[in-house]
Amino acid sequence: MTTMQDTHISLAHGNGGRFMRELIDELFAKYLSNPFLDTRTDAATLGQHDGSLLMTTDGFTVQPLEFPGGNIGSLAIHGTVNDLAVSGAIPRYLSLNAFIEEGLEIELLDRLIRSLAEAAKEAGVHVVTGDTKVLRRGEGGGLYLATTGVGTRAVKNELSMAQIQSGDKILVSGPVGDHGTAIMLAREQFGMRGDLQSDSACVLPLTRLLHDLEGLRFMRDPTRGGLASVMQEIHRGTGMGVRLFEQQVPVQDPVTSVCEMLGYDPLYLACEGRVVAIVSEDQAELALSAWQSLDQGAEAAIIGHISKDQQHVVLETSLGGERMLEELEDDPLPRIC
Amino acid sequence: MTTMQDTHISLAHGNGGRFMRELIDELFAKYLSNPFLDTRTDAATLGQHDGSLLMTTDGFTVQPLEFPGGNIGSLAIHGTVNDLAVSGAIPRYLSLNAFIEEGLEIELLDRLIRSLAEAAKEAGVHVVTGDTKVLRRGEGGGLYLATTGVGTRAVKNELSMAQIQSGDKILVSGPVGDHGTAIMLAREQFGMRGDLQSDSACVLPLTRLLHDLEGLRFMRDPTRGGLASVMQEIHRGTGMGVRLFEQQVPVQDPVTSVCEMLGYDPLYLACEGRVVAIVSEDQAELALSAWQSLDQGAEAAIIGHISKDQQHVVLETSLGGERMLEELEDDPLPRIC
């Protein structure tokens, strides 16, 4: 940042001229440098790969930009990498769009992009192309990011909701609701504080472990709308019912406490580093022990099953009752990711 | 839109639940439907292609969202498709991110996405994956879009600045500055009106014509920063000088008039449907007649050449004088694309 004299982003950083070039060279390219990224070209040439390619995209608007356990930079990697991972792919290439609000501190932007670059490195992906736009003061929430990922297919059997069968088990790789709750606390809008960390992480180590498992039917990461929304999607996509057991669903104590106090349901709160997997009944325990062999999956659990005899998503509560998990209507928590 | 009762976007359209699903199904998927797009999956599987793949991305924040000759929807296709086209690729797949401000009229969003879908169809690309985020009222300029494109390489010889040689000719496919000027007029902030249209268009028909031309060295579309900034990039990238002839550079009369009145230089204003090509001296006329054979290239011109004996970007003016075209510093016109 030696020749960038400004401490804050100005409109001139978005104009296609010298300031934009310096911002890209001295901040983005400094951290993201890799053999495929050339900020002087209009398009990056990708390497040769055998097998199918998969493509996905995600936008990020989380507020605050930095929160316990992560920030919008690392989240922008995890979100897109995880969508490829749960689709049975190895993430390879990413594009990055940054919409930067005029007035953003360059030091903050520097931290966020450094963190983004570290997360990309950890996930083994290259950011090969990017674009920055500067938004007028007041026309953007500090920073919005979008990433698009391309990966190579790594599983032999097709993963899709069409593969799901009655009796299949539902696994989750760790406690749910951490990200949503951590963001709520970080906003301090409820007058509460806490040291709960977001679970934001790359789930590739978890999904890789299941690549060769014949009984693997489908995976999804429970982000916006949380675990309950993934269950709703499966219900809608398969026409079969879902039965969950509240006692089996891992939820951290501080998440339970905060949710009880504020009237949220942890099952509807976003995770950013968890995987839900649907696995055949006979291989569910195998998948579970594979996950539990990793620190990241230490609290993995079998939380329910698919049932063709049911028409809803039903939660069997700790007290032995039943509760329907309906599709989300109001937004419990905007700008969570 | 039969079951979407709302007339404006609300935060609930971004929450991962029912309203978001309806918005995606009944607006985005309705227009963008194609064999690769499945709004129920986390990632799209791409087709098999021989040869190298290229990847590029662009963000769009243009204001107003609709302007004479285009809108942010069609622009979001043209911008990314054109970056692939000038890189010598055939665009194949796009991802789409939409950051939608709470309160945006759904009818307007519908028009914009319909236009985006038409532009994609015309360019022969499929939008295979997408994501929407809703921004709180006041935290977004109505709508921001980002598109990432993947294409297949279609030229045999490498196109890059490293191929450029002294004596090479510089071609432009049509008048410059139309988009920038049309946006200025559409904003009516200067108390001026006019019926000038943006040149926003897919340039693939132009670039395709040069794919097999052995003397083709490099192409670029002069967007933000305009023709002058592309010349600066070539100067910086090759270490050679650039000599342009003002009389040869096509500029429409209304563009000249508006720029004269407001003190802008058309050479620095964005185009969104033009190509600059650097071609060997002996094949420049061939390239020119190829372009002129299309309506889109009817006003194409050879506007200058590369010279190793020069150290700058020099414009020989109509009056016979010389003017340096420096790198852009201030932003003449924010949110132009």
Q: B98-115 pLDDT, tens per residue?
A: 999 999 999 999 999 999
Residue in A closest to B102 by C-alpha: A334
Smallest Cα distance from A192 to chain B, Å: 23
**pLDDT tens figures, B25-76:** 889 999 999 989 988 888 999 988 877 999 999 999 999 999 999 999 999 9
The pLDDT score that the predictor gives to residue A3 is 43
Residue A2, pLDDT above cutoff 50: no
Smallest Cα distance from A198 to chain B, Å: 18
Please name the member of A42, A140, A331 whose beta carbon is closest to the beta carbon of B15.
A331
Contact B328 A132 (CB under 8 A): no
Contact A63, A141 (CB under 8 A): yes
Of 3.40.1170.10, 3.90.650.10, 3.90.850.10, 3.40.50.300, which CATH number belongs to B161-324?
3.90.650.10
Local structure of B58: helix, strand or coil: strand
Residue B4, pLDDT above cutoff 70: no
Rounded Cα distance between B108 and A314, Å, is: 39
Length of chain A as a residue count: 337
The pLDDT score that the predictor gives to residue B267 is 96
Contact A328 B60 (CB under 8 A): no
Residue A162, pLDDT above cutoff 60: yes
CA angle A112, A118, A122 (to 5 degrees): 145
Contact B131 A59 (CB under 8 A): yes
**B3 pLDDT band (50/70/90 cuts)?**
very low
Within 8 A of B89 by CB-CB distance, chain A residues are 43
Q: What is the ipTM of this complex?
A: 0.92
Within 8 A of B19 by CB-CB distance, chain A residues are 329
Indicate yes or no: pTM above 0.90: yes
Contact A55 B16 (CB under 8 A): no
Rounded Cα distance between B79 and B179, Å, is: 12
For chain B, domain boundaries: 40-153, 161-324
Smallest Cα distance from A281 to chain B, Å: 23
The pLDDT score that the predictor gives to residue B332 is 61
**pLDDT tens figures, A203-213:** 999 999 999 99
Q: Is the peptide bond before A254 cis (omega within 30 degrees of 0)?
A: no
Q: Which token pair is A123?
A: 């996930």
**pLDDT tens figures, B155-168:** 988 899 999 999 99
Length of chain B as a residue count: 337
Contact B161 A83 (CB under 8 A): no
Q: Residue B252: left if φ>0, alpha if ψ -120 to 50, beta else—which one?
A: beta
Task: Read off the DSSP letter of residue B281.
Answer: G
Rounded Cα distance between A285 and A159, Å, is: 19
Q: Which CATH superfamily is domain B40-153 in?
A: PurM-like, N-terminal domain (3.30.1330.10)
Contact B99 A97 (CB under 8 A): no
Q: What is the 3-state secondary structure (H, E, C) of chain A?
A: CCCCCCCECCHHHHCCCHHHHHHHHHHHHHHHCCCCCCCCCCCEECCCCCCCEEEEEEEECCCCCEECCEEHHHHHHHHHHHHHHHCCEEEEEEEEEEEEECCCEHHHHHHHHHHHHHHHHHHCCEEEEEEEEEECCCCECCEEEEEEEEEEECCCCCCCHHHCCCCCEEEECCCCCHHHHHHHHHHCCCCCCCCCCCCCCCCHHHHHHHCCCCCEEEEECCCCCHHHHHHHHHHHHHCCEEEEEHHHCCCCHHHHHHHHHHCCCHHHCCCCCCCEEEECHHHHHHHHHHHHCCHHHCCCEEEEEEECCCCCEEEECCCCCEEECCCCCCCCCCCCC
Q: Report the relative pairing of strands B313-316 and B241-245 from DSSP bridges.
A: parallel
**A156 pLDDT band (50/70/90 cuts)?**
confident
**A271 pLDDT band (50/70/90 cuts)?**
very high
If one counts every other C-beta atom within 10 angstroms of the C-beta of residue B68, the result is 16
Q: Which of A107-116, A276-285, A326-335 has the lowest mean pLDDT?
A: A326-335
Local structure of B286: helix, strand or coil: helix
Q: Which amino acid is at B126?
A: H
Residue A109, pLDDT above cutoff 60: yes
Q: What is the largest CA-CA distance in chain A?
A: 67
If one counts every other C-beta atom within 10 angstroms of the C-beta of residue A293, the result is 12
**A200 pLDDT band (50/70/90 cuts)?**
very high
Within 8 A of A89 by CB-CB distance, chain B residues are 43
Within 8 A of B59 by CB-CB distance, chain A residues are 97-99, 131-133, 146
Q: Which token pair is A23?
A: 């911002």
Please name the member of B16, B58, B150 whose beta carbon is closest to the beta carbon of A328.
B16
**pLDDT tens figures, B220-245:** 999 989 999 999 999 999 999 999 99
**A295 pLDDT band (50/70/90 cuts)?**
very high
Residue A191, pLDDT above cutoff 80: no
Place of tokens 């007029």: B185
Residue in A closest to B333 by C-alpha: A15
Within 8 A of B42 by CB-CB distance, chain A residues are 56, 83-84, 86-87, 220-221
Residue A215, pLDDT above cutoff 90: yes
A277-to-A291, A302, A312 alpha-carbon distances in Å: 11, 9, 19
Residue A275, pLDDT above cutoff 60: yes
Contact A272, B16 (CB under 8 A): no
Closest CA to A93 of B80, B208, B148, B116: B148
Q: Report the relative pairing of strands B143-153 and A53-60 from DSSP bridges.
A: unpaired
